[in-house]
Amino acid sequence: MANLIRSAKSGRAWTLYDLDSYNIHLKQQEPLEFFGVPVLPDPAVDPELLQHLEANNMQQHHNARLIKLVDLVMLRSWGESAIVDFTVELLQLTGYDHQNRLARRRIDMPLFLCGKWRHMKTDVCLMDCKQNNILLVVQGDKWLEDREPLNARARLVAEALAAFTKNNANRQSSPLESKVNIPVLLTVSVMPGIVMVDTTPIFFKIPVTQELVTHVQQGTYPPTPTIATYCFPPLPCHISDGMKPLSNRHQILSCCEAFKTIIGI
């Protein structure tokens, strides 16, 4: 793997090949192991969202709006823009976007890669506006027949690297309060991420170290492997059905609730 060619690519151009070239590996876990809980929590949403299949049967506008966006995404003709709108609405409805936390679209994060600056643009990210930090990165993609969009996972990892460096840059420009007023830089961080495939989230924990970032910046092979873990929601219906079936909806929203602990909210 050390002999693989590494080049300066934008985030949109990353593939699984690029993960191999930087000794980054993806490992699937079962949901309970991934979230570190004995049982998935109940969804913290309005009960009618779990009881009514169609938007027209709902009384609350925000619930109906989310399901209308689910229907729009499932049409498949609207592309990733509909997935972005759906994701922002989901983060707002489930309490991710709250008070100092803000869900933002299409944030451009530069990353120094193989000696050149390249752009890593998230579809959606969750920001802590008080600390000016990125808490979560989201990459949207579409199902193509029965094939998983594997390269979306690579793009998510590229965005996690950029988010790590951006958070450190923010710490340098606005030092955290301390007795000697010296900025506390991150040397290692687990960046939470989601690949939103239509309306089905795949949850990720991506460990990022300064060592890994340095190798990416220099275009060299890291001797230490990076293991990013991920999990699928335990869905009773087909994964491509996403949040439309009520049984799937309950499990996805339960996982969204469990994921809050990993993000730290």
Residue 229 CB neighbours (<10 A): 17
**Token pair recorded at residue 85:** 């709108």
pLDDT score of 173 more than 80? no
Q: At 254, phi and psi to the nearest 5?
A: -65, -45
Task: Note the pLDDT tens digit of each residue in 216-251.
Answer: 999 999 999 999 999 999 999 988 899 999 999 999
DSSP 176: P
Query: What pLDDT, on a 0 to 100 scale, did the predictor assign at position 177?
Result: 41
Q: Please state whether beta strands 24-28 and 226-231 pair in parallel, antiparallel, or not at all (unpaired).
A: parallel
Instruction: Return mean pLDDT, the chain.
Output: 89
Query: What pLDDT, on a 0 to 100 scale, did the predictor assign at position 114?
Result: 87
Task: Note the pLDDT tens digit of each residue in 89-100.
Answer: 999 999 999 989
State the average pLDDT over residues 141-149.
68
Query: What pLDDT, on a 0 to 100 scale, did the predictor assign at position 176?
Result: 43
Q: Where are the beta strands (DSSP E) in 29-170?
A: 101-105, 108-113, 116-121, 124-128, 133-141
**23: region left, alpha or beta (phi > 0 left; psi from -120 to 50 alpha):** left
**What single letter denotes the amino acid at residue 117?**
W
Q: Which of 36-45, 158-167, 168-177, 241-250 shows the lowest per-residue confidence on average (mean pLDDT)?
A: 168-177
Task: Note the pLDDT tens digit of each residue in 62-82.
Answer: 999 999 999 999 887 766 789
Q: Percent of the chain beyond pLDDT 70?
A: 90
pLDDT score of 115 more than 90? no
Domain positions in the chain: 11-174+183-263
